Amino acid sequence: MLENKNKNLTKLEDLGEFNLIDLLTKDLKIKHKSTIKSIGDDAAVLDYKSKKVLVSTDFLVEGVHFDLSYMPLKHLGYKAVMVNLSDIYAMNGIAKHITVSIAISNRFTQEAMEELYAGITLACEKYDIDFVGGDTTSSVTGLTISVTAIGEANLKDIVYRNGAKPNDLIVVSGDLGSAFMGLKILEREKEVFKVNPKNQPDLDQYTYLIERQLKPEARKDIVRLLKDLKVNPTSMIDVSDGLSSELLHICKQSKVGCDLYENKIPLDPQLISTCEEFKLNVTTLALNGGEDYELLMTISQKDYDKIKGNPNFTVIGYIKEENAGTNLVLRDNSIVELKSRGWGSKED
């Protein structure tokens, strides 16, 4: 998908690193007063005054985190930004700036990089982010992207993973498991394509699931909603590695236990029907799938009335004393230990 023989594509070696950077960043606009100096010098200059600075960074590596046979470069650029913004929002902060560094092999063209940066730019525009720097270098192993997100928050508003208390409610935004199911669909269609390249897949019935995988959205809106509702989470984390893994992180760092109710986990109807088609356990996907980028939090019971009935939130359990253990309460009310099995567990 990186070559189009009907077009005259420009090799990166013919362009050069600095010309490439100039080309990809020439249309970027500065949105924040805190951006004193952006791209074009040895370092960006940012002024956060009395706010506390939040910083998060992630790598996306070809063949490990994405497959370009079904991940369009524009979507990849967008997703790379979302992964990092989500971490800032999980601290109850507001993201303001990103830097982007890429390592690219000579199989990529100028036009391919313009597609990648179009996705990055779209994410910056939609989420009100200033793109202030980064680096490019060559690679012999394909494409690697590293994004660093920088945000701000008042000290009193920052939410950590270690603040959960017994009797707090466990709350999650959105629905879970759909992103992993989207990946399973794309992997299946890739195998079908290998057997019959002329086959054109009909993916209309899976639109939501595929979008959750290829173009996830970080939950900036939840941070704003919590502020409007005057709800201060006692702990919070984003769901990047799966619900079970993230909840266990909160429990470990807060030194608490939990009861998570299987029948309360929010699931999209398209996910449920597709799991039946693939003969997969829907709870397993929701617990272990990952890449949902929803926000998992604990809140005091006194704040329950503020979120009750709000479609953005689902109460899925409650925090217990540490000696009670970490438990999954199944639909038949039996209890099993909640374990972290990570991305793509094949266990039911």
Q: How many structural domains are present in the chain?
A: 2
Query: 303-324, pLDDT tens digit by residue?
Result: 999 999 999 999 999 999 999 9
On whether residue 34 sits in a domain, the answer given is: yes
Q: Quote the pTM value.
A: 0.87
Q: How far apart are CA 38 and CA 33, in angstroms?
A: 11
> What distances in angstroms separate CA 197 from CA 67, 153, 191, 193, 201, one per listed residue?
17, 50, 10, 5, 10
Backbone angles phi, psi at 253, to 5 degrees: -75, -25
CATH of the domain at 237: 3.90.650.10
Q: Judge if 332 and 184 occupy the same domain.
A: yes
Do 94 and 205 have their domain in common? Answer: no
- Which strand (E) or helix (H) includes residue 147? strand 144-153
Among 95, 124, 157, give the residue marking a domain's end.
Answer: 157
Torsion-angle region of 270 (φ positive above 0: left; ψ -120 to 50: alpha; else: beta): alpha
If DSSP states are collapsed to H, E and C, what string results for 218-233?
CCHHHHHHHHHHCCCC
pLDDT exceeds 90 at position 228: yes
For residue 76, with 0-12 CB atoms within 10 Å meaning exposed, 13-18 middle and 19 or more buried, which class applies? buried
Q: Which domain holds residue 185?
A: 169-337
The Cα-based distances of 132 to 19, 54, 56, 76, 346 in angstroms read 17, 15, 15, 19, 41
Q: What is the pLDDT of residue 136?
A: 87
Using 50, 70 and 90 to split pLDDT, how confident is the model at 348?
A: very low
Confidence class for position 111, pLDDT limits 50, 70, 90: very high
The first and second tokens of residue 333, run together, are 């009310």
Are residues 327 and 207 part of one domain? yes
- Residue pLDDT, tens place only, 194-218: 888 777 777 899 999 999 999 999 9
153 and 175 belong to one structural domain: no
- What is the reported pLDDT for 50? 79
Kindly state whether residue 199 falls inside one of the protein's structural domains.
Answer: yes
Q: How many CB atoms lie within 10 A of CB 300?
A: 14
Mean pLDDT of the chain: 88
> 317: which strand partners?
170, 260
Q: How wide is the angle at C-alpha 73 spanned by C-alphas 93 and 177, nearest 5°?
A: 55
> Region 268-278: what's the mean pLDDT?
97
pLDDT score for 20: 54
Average pLDDT in the 141-170 region?
94
Q: What pLDDT is recorded for position 283?
A: 96
Helices 110-127, 73-89: axis angle to 10 degrees equals 30
Dump pLDDT digits (tens) for 170-193. 999 999 999 999 999 999 999 988
Distance (Å, rounded) from C-alpha 178 to C-alpha 180? Answer: 6
Same domain, 132 and 200: no
With a cut of 90, say whether residue 254 has pLDDT above it. Answer: yes
My answer on whether 142 and 208 are in the same domain is: no
